[in-house]
Amino acid sequence: MNEYEAIVQSLSDIDQRIRQDNTGVFTEMLILFDHVLVARTQPYSGYDGYQVGGRDLRYALVNPLSGARNTRRPYYVGNQEANISLADSEVVSMEQAWQWMTAWKAGHAAYRQQLVQQQQAWREAMEAGASDMRAREYERLRMEEEPLPPPPQIWGPVQEKAWQAEVDRGEAAANEVLKDWDSRPRWVTVVLVGNIGPCDGCKARLKVFLYDLSAEMFPKALVMVKAVYTGQEHKPGVRGDTDRLQTEYGYPDRAQQVEYRSATGTVWRPWARIVTPWPVQ
Ligand SMILES: [Zn+2]
């Protein structure tokens, strides 16, 4: 599945969830290695952040105990903003995507290491003048198709079979794409798809997420993080019960309206915005 098809699928999942629940705010996250979909999260809704781990989440960006400032948080996001928005679906989407990539990277590194060890054993045997039969045995071992480790499963309720099946297809694609290379993708694209633009807190989280991917997870890849959302390009909102926090959903600058069309003729015109690193000052 390429990026276009994956986004169409996500938009349609989210529509389905809205119909099921009659209302709601949902996001899904797509992970593409070399332009092929390798994993996706399920459509998470608001408050899933609390259910999954609240302040303990990597992208909560608050101190787990006090709720105070966390050093990973950009300077322009206040405590209140971070605390109120930490339950948002975007937080758990980022969390799950990060966990999947971490598990995948570890599994794949172990697999590559095993291959290297095998090749070394073969080389040593050849250099030591192994008998023909022994050398042929090593050659066979070396050439044998080693199964790749199974990519990790995306977290989610087991009853969500439809999405699980999609993840399984993603796994097959991931293995196909990754078969021949040196343990890392060259292009990594992560797309957050939703039916509302990210709030100010989550826009900042996406910048932290982009940093994590480019600097820590895939330092040698070209990394791109995108937000694709239906509804308004941007709209002001007020949240919180007593503290009434002002925020802005979506991007007031440089979002572009784009068209996606499903095979059955459904048309969406969401906004798309590439996430940029946060400013120093
Ligand atoms: Zn948010």
The answer for residues whose C-beta is within 8 angstroms of residue 90's C-beta and 6 or more apart is 27, 59, 192, 194, 198, 202, 205, 206
* DSSP of 10-48: HHHHHHHHHHHHSS--EEEEEEEETTEEEEE---EETTH
- Going from the Cα of 46 to the center of ligand 1, the distance in angstroms, rounded, reads 9
C-alpha angle 219-220-222 in degrees, rounded to nearest 5: 95
- Going from the Cα of 199 to the center of ligand 1, the distance in angstroms, rounded, reads 4
- Going from the Cα of 125 to the center of ligand 1, the distance in angstroms, rounded, reads 58
- The predicted structure's pLDDT at residue 266: 97
- The predicted structure's pLDDT at residue 206: 96
Q: Is the Cβ–Cβ distance between 92 and 57 less than 8 Å?
A: yes
- Going from the Cα of 191 to the center of ligand 1, the distance in angstroms, rounded, reads 15
pTM of the model: 0.84
The answer for residues whose C-beta is within 8 angstroms of residue 139's C-beta and 6 or more apart is 122
- Going from the Cα of 71 to the center of ligand 1, the distance in angstroms, rounded, reads 19
* Residue 37: burial class (beta carbons within 10 Å; 0-12, 13-18, 19+): buried
- The predicted structure's pLDDT at residue 158: 39
**Cα(223)–Cα(210) distance, rounded to whole angstroms?**
8
* DSSP of 151-171: PPPPP--TT-HHHHHHHHHHH
- Going from the Cα of 43 to the center of ligand 1, the distance in angstroms, rounded, reads 15
Averages of pLDDT over each 10 residues, the chain, 281 residues? 92 90 89 87 75 74 74 80 88 89 82 77 76 69 62 50 52 62 79 96 94 92 97 92 89 96 97 89 55
Give Cα separations from 210 to 51, 87, 157 (angstroms): 24, 20, 27
- Going from the Cα of 274 to the center of ligand 1, the distance in angstroms, rounded, reads 17
**Cα(41)–Cα(267) distance, rounded to whole angstroms?**
22
- Going from the Cα of 194 to the center of ligand 1, the distance in angstroms, rounded, reads 11
Only one residue has tokens 């790749």, namely 148
- Going from the Cα of 221 to the center of ligand 1, the distance in angstroms, rounded, reads 27
- Going from the Cα of 81 to the center of ligand 1, the distance in angstroms, rounded, reads 9
How many CB atoms neighbour CB 132 within 10 A?
Answer: 7
Residues in the chain: 281
**Cα(46)–Cα(92) distance, rounded to whole angstroms?**
9
Quick one: tokens of 34?
């070399």
- Going from the Cα of 36 to the center of ligand 1, the distance in angstroms, rounded, reads 27
